[in-house]
Amino acid sequence: MEMTILKVKKIYDGTRKGEIPEGVLVFDETGILEVLPGWENAPVSRYEQAGRSVAVIDARDVCLVPGLIDSHVHLMMPGDGMKGEEVVSTMSQGEIQLVAGRNAAQALFAGVTTLRDCGGIADVTFSLKSAIEKGLVAGPDLLVCGSPITSTGGHIHYMGGEADGEEEIRRLVRRQKKRGADFVKIVATGGGTRGVVVKGMNLTLPEINCAVEEAHRLHLKATAHVNSTKGVETVLKTEIDGIEHAYFSAFDGTVDYQKREAENMVKKGIVVCQTLEVMEPKVERLGKIKNRTAQETQEYDRLSLFQERLFEMHRRMIEDGVSFIAGTDAGWNECPFGRVWHGLKKMAECGMSNEELLYSATGKAADWLGISEKRGYLRAGCAADFLMVREDPRKDISNLRLVEQVYKNGIRIR
C-alpha cells in the first residue's frame, strides 16, 4: 500500500493549542502514522528502507486542519427554505433520500468529514449511513438519531418520532437504538412546525426524564432541542448531556437570560450546540433584495430581530463559561451544507477565540461525540481525515472556506 508524506506550512492537530510549524503528516489508508514538526524531519528514507512505496506531497503554503465536524444537521431537508411538512407531502421518499445524499456529498467537499444528523425520517438517515459505510456513495461519517422523540403532533412530528407517555417513549428510544441510533434527540420544546406552540413545552418533564434515562441505560447520549428559558430550566432537571439551540427566550421571543441556569449547564458538564447561523442565509438573501415586498420586509425585520436576540444570548453564555460545539442546522430553512465557517465566524463576532472555535469543530466535538479515538485529531492512530486551507484559520476562522483539498480515510476527495 502506498503511503504519503505531506509537508505543509502548519498543522493544527485538533487540540485547543496544538499548532505544529513546518508540519509533516505521514499517512496511508489505514490512518495517520506520524505527525512531526520540521520539514527536514520527513522520514522518507526510513519508510523506503522498510520497503514502503512513498509519495511526497509538497504543500508548504497551506495549513492542515482535521476534517471538520458539524454536530447539527438535517440531511433530509433540501436547505432551500422548504418546510419539513412540505418535504414529506410533496416529495417521494426516494427523492428525499437523494437530497440527503447530495447534502452529505456537499458537506464532504467543503471539508466536513463527520456529520451528526439531529433528526430526519429514520429510514432516510439510517439508509444513508449504511450506504456511506459500505462505500456505495461518498459522504462524511454519520452519527444519527433516526427520528427525534416528540409528542403526537409536536415539533418535527413528520420525522416519524411521535410518542406519548413514559411507556411509549421508552419503546421509541429502544426502537431507534435497535435501528442503529448513535444518540437520542429529544424535542423538549416547540418550534417552527405548523400548529405547534412555538415557545411551548413539547414534552412533559417526566417524559423527557424517561427518554434521558432510557438513552443512558442503552449507553447513548441524550440531547434536547430547547428554544425557551422554560425549556432550559426543565431539561436541566434531568441528566441530559447536551442542549441544541438553548435559547433563553420568554414566551414572546424576547431575551430572558438566566445566569443561574447557564452556570448550571457549566456545572453539569453540558455541551451546547447553538446553531447560531440557522437563519443567517435567509437574512442575507432578503437583505440583498433592492425592492423588498411588504411581506419580505416583515420577514427580514422579524428574522433580524431573532438574530440580534440570539447573538445577545450567545455572548452572555460565552461570558458565563458555557461550553459549545460547532453546528450549523444545515438543511433547515435556507441553511446550506458545508458552510461551517460561516457559523463559526458569527461565534467569533460574539466573543469566542479562533483557537476555541477551531477546537469546537474538531477535537472537542469528537471528544464529546465519543469518536476521538479515530476522528477530530491529527495524531498517530487517527483516520487520515483532513483539509488543506489556503490561509491560516487561527488568524480568521472564515479562512476555513478556502479549501484546497479534502482527504477522507487517506483518500483525496477534492
Positions touching Zn ion (CB under 5 A) are 118, 329
Nearer to Zn ion, 176 or 372 (CB): 176
Amino acid identity, residue 9?
A: K
Whole-angstrom distance, CA of residue 210 vs CA of residue 157:
19
- Residue 195 belongs to what H/E stretch? none
Nearer to Zn ion, 329 or 392 (CB): 329
Please give the radius of gyration of the chain, using alpha carbons only, rounded to the nearest integer.
Answer: 21
Q: Which residue is nearest to Zn ion (CB)?
A: 329
End-to-end C-alpha distance for the chain, whole angstroms = 21
Nearest distance, CB of residue 332 and Zn ion, angstroms:
5
DSSP 226: E
Nearer to Zn ion, 70 or 261 (CB): 70
DSSP 17: S
Nearest distance, CB of residue 153 and Zn ion, angstroms:
19
**How far out from the chain centre does Cα 373 lie?**
18
Nearest distance, CB of residue 193 and Zn ion, angstroms:
12
Nearer to Zn ion, 120 or 376 (CB): 120
**How far out from the chain centre does Cα 13 lie?**
19
Nearest distance, CB of residue 274 and Zn ion, angstroms:
11
Whole-angstrom distance, CA of residue 195 vs CA of residue 152:
12
Nearer to Zn ion, 244 or 385 (CB): 244
Nearest distance, CB of residue 194 and Zn ion, angstroms:
16
Whole-angstrom distance, CA of residue 44 vs CA of residue 265:
49
Nearest distance, CB of residue 83 and Zn ion, angstroms:
13
SS3 of 33, please? strand
Nearer to Zn ion, 18 or 79 (CB): 79
Q: Put the strands of the sheet holding 183-187 in their side by side order.
A: 183-187, 221-226, 242-245, 271-273, 323-324
